[in-house]
Structure 1
Amino acid sequence: MADHRAQVEDLLAGYRRSREQLGAVQRSLATVRETVTSDDGRVAVTVSASGTLVDLAIDDDAYRALRPADLAALIVRTTAEAAARVNRQASEVLAPVLPADSDPAALLRGTADLSDEELAPEPEPDDDPQDETFEDKSWMQSGGTRHARRI
């Protein structure tokens, strides 16, 4: 009986250590931010560890110097760069608590250890409009006779 109690205590102690470590990692990830300024200095973006845009600063001159589509593209490019950088930082925070053969960046992307085949989108169902009928199906008809309805 004492052996079982000791095993349970060991398991609970391990569980508590894991929870404390997970909490520390979550707190560290919550502080990870990356700010990137575009090459021309007109746009600065800040993203969180999850790649979420948390701040956007646009120089007043940007509205006059760039067409809206060009400004939008600049914002997207700058945000993508910040997201790539913050992913590297978050990977470094996460790596020590993962198994040695894990890829922290893949885990953060949500792909973990899935193969390319497992990540491929499901094929769309083959909807053939010729398969669709507008027949009147009635259980009251004897012999299963169907009558087409004209529309």
Structure 2
Amino acid sequence: MPQIQLTSVTHRFQGPPLLDGVDCVIEAGDRIGLLGRNGAGKTTLMKLLSGQLTPDHGEVTLASGTRVAQLRQDVPTNIHARVAEVVRQGVTAQDHAHAWEADQAVEKTLSRMGLAGDAEFQGLSSGMKRRVLLAQAIVDEPEVLLLDEPTNH
């Protein structure tokens, strides 16, 4: 079974469909880049893949147990926490039943990403904030990682 499958997916906000009859199969291990002009539907497609949006028509199917994480294109301005706390928000309860395991996953990710867990998120440069948010996305080692405009900052 594919990791993700889109079948006849259509989505509109107003007016004509932004995505119309999209069919796609994504297998485990695939790396896919989406290219297109502004407003072409790239972010909308990622929101459909992550479950943030539901298609108006068609179906988005994920393989059983598939974890999806997303690095959005904008850096939130309302995060007032230390880096370790921001990364820990990416830990899902079902994967880390014990606090010790969650802490270990956060520490491992901080180390791999070269991040200081006690630094204040608001005091970081925009590029370092993106790195922290990427760490938050990968801390649970998701099967699918969606990167929206990953080189913007």
| Fold equivalence (TM over 0.5) | no
TM-score by length of 1: 0.27
Structure ranking higher in helix proportion: 1
Structure number, greater radius of gyration = 1
TM-score by length of 2: 0.27
Determine which structure has greater relative contact order: mean sequence separation of CA pairs < 8 Å that are 6+ residues apart, divided by chain length: 2
Structure ranking higher in strand proportion: 2
